[in-house]
């Protein structure tokens, strides 16, 4: 029943409520500089009134809870924008470093070395008898090789460095995931949705962790049964009952209070590059390397992924592959021409195929086609030519048998002046080296091979100018490193013949064949293909920079929207402080008045 004491209680509730409002406002002001602190408000409602026959008498104010102002959906956009911006920032920083490895300006870079290499062949063509020109050719060749290998090495070192950075990033992701799971456990212990009891600081801390995690890896957060708080803000949403955080398209690394750490391992890669796995409750590993997107880890994988089991190839690996493709095409085109230079015997490099392996199915770029073996006499005149055809079933043993077969190569019905009468071909599974050796070296005959579309000579390194098969192991033949004067500029071994030098010089203008990893054959000149390699790096860098600038603009806009909802406004809080202090003073005045009323009442009674 109402009365003077009831009036005193009514004013006391108002006093307590405004005291709490002042406390919360002071807490907001104290945390105004914290981006992830959500401003808080005291949620109040009228106390249940006293019901009389003719009227209902209010009994003051009821403090329901302290609610943080937070829009879950704006925050989700903020996390996504931060993830995208971090992705492109990480990529651009790395690609800018990679692009510095290709300083293709006048007088600097591999492209200039290629020009100097071909200019050296031009000088050999003009002065074939001058040993100094061959020494310059060897020197320019070594310079070109050194720069190709050094560029590949630097790309590889950058790839390994970023792969190690990926490991650190994944460890940080696991650390954040564990902290989120621990917070979820504490939220379950501290909160009560029926009484609107909220652990606001814990939720702010979880938001901060979610945001930091989004910068490291793209993720999705699912919170069941979100409740809005329309008394404060129609856009706010909070009080989730269930919580899951997944990555890579559906792998839960946080499930309420349970954390499933990501596993990163490089034991299956000879270069120490990492792959990422998810291990669930069944302890089975699932490779999620190609599924991870967004954030720093997504960018790092987009850079360093090495195509495991036919998977994604990252940009750095692509640049390495392109450089290898360039080197291989350069090596094979050069060796294919150089094999036409006649000498007393023919030897290939040591091969990784057996005599019964089908050549077109091997690791070597041997195609269906053919080649001619040419024999020259002591005066450099062509004595005979024997043609060999390669198809989809040809093996090295087939080639050897065909060369050694007694056929009428000169079409003169003379069984004693054919190829098999002067030379013998060899190949066995022990030495694994294709050879054509003279039966009688004292005859002074020379032999060469002229390719007819099979790439046989370039692929297996017949009497090669270059050793190796890619940008990592390309090298000038040791013979010419030790003595450059032995470089052969002739096709037929006679004085004044410089056909090989001429053909090498034309190679900078004629198309050669390049076989990219997982790509179709491309036909370009050697300088053009190298420009393609460098152009890819420059194009990727520019595209990432433009996209990164766009994502930064989006992030700034979304951040502004998020902070407008949740961030503390000092001006607004100062106005509230004055308002709540006035309310507190007014309620205190009411209590003072009631106190005087009680004194008056007691005086009347006395």
Residue ranges covered by each domain of the chain: 1-68+568-606, 120-155+327-539
pLDDT digits (tens, 9 = 90+) for 292-342: 999 999 999 999 999 988 899 999 999 999 999 999 999 999 999 999 999
Residue range 584-590: mean pLDDT, rounded? 91
Q: How far does Cα 324 stand from its chain's mean position?
A: 19
Closest C-alpha among 285, 261, 284, 289 to residue 274: 289
pLDDT digits (tens, 9 = 90+) for 79-88: 999 999 999 9
- Say what the pLDDT of residue 491 is: 93
Question: CA 366 to CA 359: how far, in whole Å?
Answer: 6
Confidence of residue 128 (pLDDT cuts 50, 70, 90): confident
Instruction: Provide the β-strand partners of residue 68.
Output: 40
Where is 583: in which H helix or E strand? helix 570-605
- Say what the pLDDT of residue 193 is: 59
* % the chain with pLDDT above 70: 95
Closest C-alpha among 242, 246, 254 to residue 219: 246
Would you give the DSSP letter of residue 494?
Answer: S
pLDDT digits (tens, 9 = 90+) for 349-381: 999 999 999 999 999 999 999 999 999 999 999
C-alpha neighbours within 13 Å on the C-beta side of residue 209: 22
Is 454 within 8 Å of 369 (Cβ atoms)? Answer: yes
Residue range 216-232: mean pLDDT, rounded? 77
Q: How many residues does the chain have?
A: 606
Confidence of residue 397 (pLDDT cuts 50, 70, 90): very high
The dihedral region occupied by 81, where left means phi > 0, alpha psi between -120 and 50, and beta the remainder, is alpha
Residue 79: CB atoms within 10 A of its CB come to: 25
Bridging pattern class, strands 512-514 and 258-259: unpaired
Inform me whether the pLDDT recorded for 181 exceeds 60.
yes
Is 551 within 8 Å of 54 (Cβ atoms)? Answer: no
From residue 453, give the alpha-carbon distance in Å to each of 328, 372, 421, 450, 456. Answer: 17, 11, 27, 10, 8
Report the SS3 class of residue 50.
strand
pLDDT digits (tens, 9 = 90+) for 545-562: 999 999 999 999 999 999
pLDDT digits (tens, 9 = 90+) for 152-166: 999 999 999 999 999
Q: CA triplet 156, 158, 161: central angle to 5 degrees? A: 110
Question: CA 291 to CA 289: how far, in whole Å?
Answer: 6
* Dihedral sign (CA 148, 153, 156, 162): negative
**60-64, 177-181, 267-271, 282-286, range with greatest mean pLDDT:** 177-181
- Say what the pLDDT of residue 94 is: 97
The dihedral region occupied by 278, where left means phi > 0, alpha psi between -120 and 50, and beta the remainder, is beta
Residue 327: CB atoms within 10 A of its CB come to: 25
pLDDT digits (tens, 9 = 90+) for 436-452: 999 999 999 999 999 99
Confidence of residue 106 (pLDDT cuts 50, 70, 90): low
Inform me whether the pLDDT recorded for 229 exceeds 80.
no
- Say what the pLDDT of residue 601 is: 83
Three-class SS string for 166-232?
HHHHHHHHHHHHHHHHHHHHHHHHHCECCCCECCHHHHHHHHHHHHHHHHHCCEEEEECCCEEECCC
Residue range 270-290: mean pLDDT, rounded? 90
* % the chain with pLDDT above 90: 77
- Say what the pLDDT of residue 548 is: 96
From residue 112, give the alpha-carbon distance in Å to each of 116, 119, 126. Answer: 6, 11, 21
Closest C-alpha among 420, 428, 358 to residue 390: 358
Where is 332: in which H helix or E strand? helix 315-338
User: Average model confidence (pLDDT) for the chain?
Assistant: 91
From residue 544, give the alpha-carbon distance in Å to each of 155, 217, 551. Answer: 18, 18, 10
556: tokens are: 């700034």
- Say what the pLDDT of residue 194 is: 60
Question: CA 112 to CA 108: how far, in whole Å?
Answer: 6
Closest C-alpha among 500, 405, 387, 501 to residue 454: 387
491: tokens are: 């096709």
Report the SS3 class of residue 233.
strand
What percent of the chain is helix, strand and coil (3-state, nearest 5)? 50, 20, 30
- Say what the pLDDT of residue 518 is: 85
Residue range 590-606: mean pLDDT, rounded? 84
């Amino acid at each position: 029943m109402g009365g003077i004491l009831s009036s005193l209680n009514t004013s006391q509730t108002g006093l307590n409520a405004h005291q709490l409002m002042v406390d919360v406002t002071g807490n907001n002001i104290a945390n105004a500089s914290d981006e992830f602190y959500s401003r808080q408000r005291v949620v109040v409602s009228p106390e249940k009134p006293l019901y009389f026959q003719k009227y209902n008498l209010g009994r003051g104010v009821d403090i329901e809870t302290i609610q943080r102002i937070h829009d879950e959906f704006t925050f989700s956009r903020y996390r996504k924008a931060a993830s995208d911006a971090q992705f492109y920032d990480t990529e651009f920083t790395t690609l800018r470093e990679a692009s510095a490895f290709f300083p293709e300006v006048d007088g600097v870079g591999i492209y200039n070395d290629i020009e100097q290499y071909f200019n050296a062949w031009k000088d050999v063509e003009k002065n074939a008898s001058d040993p100094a020109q061959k020494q310059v050719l060897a020197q320019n060749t070594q310079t070109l090789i050194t720069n190709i290998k050094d560029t590949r090495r630097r790309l590889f070192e950058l790839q390994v460095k970023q792969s190690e950075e990926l490991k650190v990033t994944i460890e940080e992701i696991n650390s954040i995931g564990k902290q989120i799971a621990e917070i979820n456990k504490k939220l379950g212990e501290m909160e009560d949705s029926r009484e609107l009891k909220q652990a606001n600081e814990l939720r702010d801390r979880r938001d901060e962790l979610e945001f930091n995690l989004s910068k490291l890896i793209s993720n999705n957060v699912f919170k069941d049964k979100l409740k809005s708080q329309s008394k404060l803000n129609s856009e706010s949403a909070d009080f989730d009952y269930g919580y899951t955080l997944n990555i890579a398209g559906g792998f839960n690394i946080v499930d309420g209070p349970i954390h499933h750490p990501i596993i990163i391992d490089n034991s299956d890669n000879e270069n120490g590059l990492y792959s990422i796995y998810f291990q669930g409750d069944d302890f089975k590993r699932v490779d999620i390397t190609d599924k991870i997107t967004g954030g720093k880890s997504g960018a790092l994988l987009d850079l360093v992924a090495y195509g495991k089991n036919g998977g994604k190839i990252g940009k750095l690996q692509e640049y390495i592959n392109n450089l290898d493709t360039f080197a291989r095409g350069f090596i094979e085109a050069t060796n294919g021409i150089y094999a036409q230079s006649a000498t007393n015997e023919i030897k290939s490099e040591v091969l990784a195929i057996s005599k019964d392996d089908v050549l077109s199915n091997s690791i070597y770029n041997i195609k269906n086609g053919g080649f001619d073996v040419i024999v020259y006499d002591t005066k450099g005149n062509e004595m005979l030519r024997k043609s060999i055809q390669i198809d989809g079933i040809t093996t090295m043993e087939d080639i050897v048998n065909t060369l050694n077969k007694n056929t009428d190569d000169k079409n003169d019905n003379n069984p004693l002046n054919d190829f098999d009468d002067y030379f013998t071909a060899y190949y066995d599974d022990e030495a694994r080296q294709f050879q054509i050796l003279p039966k009688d070296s004292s005859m002074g005959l020379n032999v060469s091979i002229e390719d007819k579309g099979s790439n046989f000579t370039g692929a297996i390194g017949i009497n090669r100018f270059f050793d190796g098969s890619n940008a990592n192991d390309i090298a000038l033949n040791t013979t010419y490193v030790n003595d450059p004067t032995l470089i052969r500029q002739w096709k037929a071994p006679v004085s004044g013949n410089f056909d090989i030098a001429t053909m090498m010089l034309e190679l900078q203008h004629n198309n050669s064949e390049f076989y990219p990893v997982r790509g179709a054959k491309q036909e370009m000149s050697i300088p053009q293909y190298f420009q393609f390699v460098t152009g890819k790096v420059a194009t990727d860098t520019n595209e990432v920079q433009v996209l990164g600038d766009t994502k930064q603009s989006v992030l700034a806009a979304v951040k502004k929207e998020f902070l407008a909802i949740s961030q503390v406004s000092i001006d607004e809080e100062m106005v509230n402080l004055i308002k709540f202090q006035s309310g507190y003073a007014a309620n205190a005045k009411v209590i003072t008045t009631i106190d005087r009323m009680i004194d008056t009442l007691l005086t009347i009674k006395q």
